[in-house]
Amino acid sequence: MSTLLSPIKDVHSERRMFLSRVVLAAVVSILLLGLVIARLVQLQVVDHELFAEKSQGNRVRIEPVPPIRGLVFDRKDRVLAENLPAYQLELIPEQVVDIDDTLKRLASINLIQFEDIPRIKDLSRSGPRFKPVTLKFRLTEKEIASFAIQRPRFPGVDFQPRLVRHYPDGEFVSHAVGYVGALSTDDLQRLDPALYAGTSHTGKTGVESSFESDLHGDTGYRHLITNARGRQVPSDTSELLDSLPFDETPMPGANVYLSIDLDLQRIATQALDGRRGALVAIDPQNGEILALVSAPAFDPNLFAVGMSTSQYRELSENPDRPLFNRAVRGTYPPGSTIKPVLALAALETGATNLTRKTVCHGYFQLPNIEHRYRDWKPEGHGPVDLHDAIAQSCDVYFYEISTEIGITSMHDYLTRFGLGSETGIDISGERPGLVPSVEWKRNNFRGDDRRWYDGETVTASIGQSYMLATPLQLASAAAALATRGKRFRPHMVAAVEDALTGERRLVQPERLPDVEISNDFYWQNVLDAMHDVMQGPRGTARAVGFGAPYEMAGKSGTAQVVSIAQDEKYDDAELEERQRDHALFIAFAPLDEPRIAVALIVENGESGSGVAAPIARAVMDAYLGYGDDAP
């Protein structure tokens, strides 16, 4: 049996292995320590400024400071839109233990509405809990006193001073000036976030919207010291504050001066009180809008301070549509107000002349057609020429010459006066109206309905059929008649003023293509006939123009709302109030040197000369300096 011997232990070899491992570990440790030291050097020496700035940013928050919105004035420097200090009720979510209970108790003392509680709760959850949520934009003195007594019962709720938009004349200028409202989701997508940081409201309609870029101003900012959670804390580190860049002061918005006259706005609004309608007055010599009224109106202050859901519902669901700007968006059949334009078209095209007479029997018939197109005067006007047809508003005369003028020439001349297209006024929302043509009907109807019929030309000659116009377009056309074809683009803003320097940028009148009429005597005859409408012995509105200390011209119109049978009279039809005819009127004065042109509609007013004309006369009297209401 053999015995196996163990190998002799190699001490030197084990020692060498141990030393090599120690050296390797030391080298690795030194390398790792070197990397740590290098990284520390990079962080604390090389990139010191970068990380110091980032650290500073964690402590400093840049807070936007909204600019003061520019003011709006009328042509006599009277304030139409201003900014007033007011107290608004605010809630800080992190300081309120039970938001539901707090809001319900605030509603029970009538500081907020119960129906607004869900909206307020959503706002309180949408942002940081330390950020105030506005509960009510403007508190009355009574509400402030009432809440001040009960403040201990509402921890986390307090009132703070703020600037809010205010319209001293409210309803008188609501559709002209417009209003500001809280920023919506659509607004935030449309507007530059940097320019509107810190801003809660923006212009929604009227001048407030169209001149938003001028009125808003430039946002400033300030630096605040905050804790790690973003909440502002008192700073006792003057060195830190000294190292911050300077705060940027917000630049106030520009002041906007309008051409409208507040006195005319008040007169027209009061005259239309209780009715639905609109009035536009223009300076024929430069296109300045002197008055723009839509009735019924609304109080724009409700939007500026925030209204309850029930208040907005009451406005938006009102059948009289107070939020609808009838002056620029309402389209109506112009009725007989277009007869002076068609008279010029007939003279230019040779469809009639100054001596041609027609015997009006109270109706007109096309050849081989039994249908009767009735005159507004059932017994007829007897023999009438063009002058009489305008002054007495004889429908039959225009029925008779309409087929000779033709719808193509009608369309041509009416569009020359700006009907059927937007005027380009400097506020948004304008609608174009409609002047029909053969091509228009071909493109908008199908089958046999695409054909243009002679009967449609007949009804178009008295502003019915498919024809539609806005009060603004009619006022612009009246101004073109007053100046014998010289046209200007209507505009409401007369100047924009830098709020700091006081430097004004004047808005220059913009000429539009003139209406060219070959014979100046045609102008004279048509304008003389319009003068006789109001101050002639047989004019339809002679009762309104009687005794005026100046010469004026006008034309009444009646737009049929519903159709009735040929053998039926309106007196017998017993129509509902909203089915009665619209009353229209256009006018200008003085006759030889016109300074004002007016167009208005009174919905379902029935008589242009009896209902609408007196309102036009009151506005012209006031602007020209006559009567008790003269500005």
Q: Which residues are part of the catalytic machinery?
A: 336
Residues in the chain: 631
Q: Residue 486: what residue type?
A: K
b/e map of 215-243 (b: 16 or more CB within 10 Å)?
bbbebbbebbbbeeeeeeeeeeeeeeeee
Question: In this structure, what are the phi and psi dihedrals at residue 46, rounded to the nearest 5 degrees?
Answer: -65, -50
Candidates 362, 299, 348; CA nearest to 517 is 348
Candidates 583, 608, 602; CA nearest to 533 is 608
557: buried, middle or exposed (CB in 10 Å: 19+, 13-18, 0-12)?
buried
In this structure, how many other beta carbons lie within 10 angstroms of the beta carbon of residue 53? 10
The rounded Cα 245 to chain-centroid distance in angstroms is 40
Tally the C-alpha atoms within 13 A of residue 602's C-alpha that lie toward its C-beta.
24
User: What sign for the dihedral angle of Cα 308, 312, 315, 317?
Assistant: negative
- DSSP, collapsed to helix, strand or coil, labels residue 89 as strand
Rounded to whole angstroms, the Cα distance separating 493 from 211 reads 9
CB 154 within 8 A of CB 105: yes
Pairing relation of β-strands 277-282 and 596-602?
antiparallel
Rounded to whole angstroms, the Cα distance separating 585 from 615 reads 9
